Structure 1
Amino acid sequence: MTPTASLPGLPADAAAAAAQGLSIVVPVYNEAAGLQQLHERLGALAAKLRQRFGLACEVVYVDDGSTDGTLGLARALPAAAIDVQVVSLSRNFGKEAALMAGLDHARRGALLFMDGDGQHSPDLVERLVDHWINGGYDVIYTAKAHRTNESVLRRIGVHSFYAIINWGARQRIPEDAGDFRLLSPRAAAALRQLPERNRFFKGLASWIGFRQIRVDYEPDVRAHGMTTFNTARLLGLSIEGLTSFSVAPLRLASLLGLLLALAAFLFGLSILWETWVDGESVPGYPSLVVGLMTLGGVQLLMIGIVGEYIGKILSELKARPIYFVAEHSVKQAEDEPSAGDPHRTAAE
């Protein structure tokens, strides 16, 4: 589908923005049960955006090594009202890599990232697009309006994560912000210029700057299946985000070492006071054992933190590709489906 001419009555700057089009990037992993329904909603959305803004749209499905037939279903999706790209990765590289693959393959100017589980409602996209075209914003990010339906432990964990990662940061990451966001063409271009391989999209999208606005929303009920992000995986992603985007853990380790050194100094003064002034003998064995165990535990913790950063440095120095593409197909909305399969490459 080629970009359309501006609509009558649309301001010149808005028409210029809309002329660059919109790519909707949807990473999918074992989403076969709800992919057809999501695609139908995206097709209806594309028709609305074309009618209201003259906006040409495409959807880029990035299959991140699914094992349930998601890829086969994605290949068969019709391009009735929206261009369709299907990018299949050679294995499961993780969501951050899938988002990067979508960013690399997007052919339109602006980008919209959304999940494939149905919780990111396409009905909200029209509002995000309006902020970009008519409001002039470059990054329109969404955030959960509340977390009352989540456990207390998870809410504490989320708040702690953002408190740590934003501690001392020059550019703060908005709390509760998700990957569901729209980037203007220049914001998308800025994101492509960042060279690091260990990516944390929430942080990078905030770091690039430009005009940003928050849109609160209520996530839809998951249409099918169960989330693949369990507690262990969320904890791993949190550590990945912290060590990829922030040096706050190193600062916390330094602060903890300083506090322990201060505590040891004060404890030493108290021992001297009791020995020299009060003439009392301070029992040494229990306090010595506790002190050694405390210092040993803290040292191991600090070594672990430093090790995470060294691992990141090693990963960057290896300069391995972020992902490999096993198959890639493109369907144009105005073309009639061909009798055979769309063109696919074994690797890119």
Structure 2
Amino acid sequence: MDRVLSQLRAAAEPTRLRLLALCARGAFRVSDLCDILGQSQPRLSRHLRLLVEAGLLERVPEGANAYFGLPPDADLARMIVARLPEDDPQLAADRRQAVRLAADRAREASETFRRLGADWDEVRALGLSAAAIERALLDLLPPRIGAFLDIGTGTGRLLELVAPRAERAFGIDASREMLALARARFAEHGVADRCAVRQADMYRLPLPDQAFDVVALQMVLHYAEDPAAALAEAARVLRPDGLLVVVDLEAHGHPELLERHAHRWPGFDDAALAGWLGAVGCAPLPPRVVEGALPVRLWPARRTLGRVSAPAAVLTF
């Protein structure tokens, strides 16, 4: 009862209700919230601190910044937000400002990529069929998903696709620019209430054990110095009988890709993936292939109850 009373007291203030309503739709920095609400940073920082201390919001550091959003267990916060009138003029104005801000952030991130010449759309750069890969992956996923994790989410395209069938869709990536685009995508397409991203290392996920029903690594593993360790970490956060899906290039004879696109591995074969997956407590299922100039394979596996440990890498070239 004390926790409920504390949360109700923390929420019982107009500015804090506005903050909860905004953060229920996505993650924002303090500077973003100052821009949207038209209030000073010291004032909003105090309100945010009270909401975080009460457990109604969570603060997620990302480089020099921090993002504020609803934590997964913020049931009371969601109940409060659900009772707020959609047609309230102040809340409607906040939503319009948030949409404008998201569009500005998306333009800034896109311009950064263009200015630096970053080839962030690897599927397009390699001449692969994004639509065919997405269809094959979605066909593998269950129609209803509790918690979904996309490791190496990039601009969040997969999270957006999975959002209609997932209660929570979460992505991690090492690039702040990618994550900025992902957040803008979620706001633009109205899925920010169930999609979230965080900057993190795929070898050290800031996530609890057995927290997800489905984990995906799409076009990520060929960049990994230690694919076995990456798979071990993915398996650690997967619930028993959960689904792990690796989507990556089939073993190929194009060594120039390693230099041109900074790939660490020239694709993978079924034996290597089966060995790594089995060693981290996942039972491999029949793989699927998306044909093309560079075939892409999908390696699904079910999490068993075995102990998760990273085996030594066995693939050489």
TM above 0.5, yes or no, is: no
TM-score scaled to structure 2, two decimals?
0.31
Structure with the larger RCO, 1 or 2 (CA within 8 Å, 6+ apart): 1
Which of these two proteins has the greater Rg computed from alpha carbons? 1
TM-score (ref. length: structure 1): 0.29
Q: Which has the higher strand share?
A: 2
